Amino acid sequence: AQTVTQSQPEMSVQEAETVTLSCTYDTSESDYYLFWYKQPPSRQMILVIRQEAYKQQNATENRFSVNFQKAAKSFSLKISDSQLGDAAMYFCAYIPRNTGNQFYFGTGTSLTVIP
Amino acid sequence: NAGVMQNPRHLVRRRGQEARLRCSPMKGHSHVYWYRQLPEEGLKFMVYLQKENIIDESGMPKERFSAEFPKEGPSILRIQQVVRGDSAAYFCASSPPGLAGGFHEQYFGPGTRLTVT
């Protein structure tokens, strides 16, 4: 079975500080993609960052970076210099490369940014 | 290039009525995916369609739910005889045509929030 687990239902961070959101997944596939999506109150799904499993280098997008540990099946998101606009639900997602019809999403982490 | 469009954004139905949710994919995209997000949960896959074909409906409830993507016009997710448990946000995503099988980047629409009273 392919599952994605986010064990932190809620997190908070002080503005300008750094926060790390955790995600683990289970799969027997060797080639896949991992994503972090942001869902603000508007409910629009916004792609934050993407990682390809065959790439050892961790993906980075401005203040957002990931720590991808393939052997441990772990994919955490680090947000540096947190801003008020970062407050949202964050979903970790997985999709296999060769049979990539559907995303598997975690249950989300609600991030609060404290001014 | 306009993004994925969904309408209506909010839909209220009484128990037993029908709900029709529409999704217009991005220009040039021929693959459509529907996901459902129940309260306090992540998105769950329902169905994957290409023009005039259902490719994978493994996530669709067996009864009352159907989806289509006609040659012309938007994709429709139809829920007959709605019940309170159908209240959720329904998201559509689209992707461009490509090689058969394999991963295609999916672009999400803003979702339709269905409330059943």
Q: Closest to A45 (Cβ–Cβ): which among B59, B103, B108?
A: B108
Question: B90 — contact with chain A (CB < 8 Å)?
Answer: no
Q: What is the pLDDT of residues B42-79, one digit of tens each?
A: 899 999 999 999 999 999 999 999 999 999 999 999 99
Question: B103 — contact with chain A (CB < 8 Å)?
Answer: yes
Go through B35-67 and write b for each residue having 16 or more CB atoms within 10 A of its CB, e for each that does not: bbbeeeebbbbbbbbeeeeeeebebbeeeebeb
DSSP B80: -
CA angle B61, A26, B62 (to 5 degrees): 5
pLDDT (mean) for A18-31: 94
CA angle B71, B1, A77 (to 5 degrees): 105
Interface of chain A against chain B, CB under 8 Å?
4, 33, 37, 42-45, 91, 93, 95-108
A101 close to A2: Cβ distance less than 8 angstroms: no
- Identify the pLDDT of residue B99: 54
Q: Is A95–B103 a contact, with Cβ atoms under 8 angstroms apart?
A: yes
- Identify the pLDDT of residue A102: 86
Q: Is B43–A105 a contact, with Cβ atoms under 8 angstroms apart?
A: yes
Interface test with A, best of B10, B43, B94 (most A CBs within 10 A): B43
Q: What is the pLDDT of residues B25-48, one digit of tens each?
A: 999 888 999 999 998 888 999 999
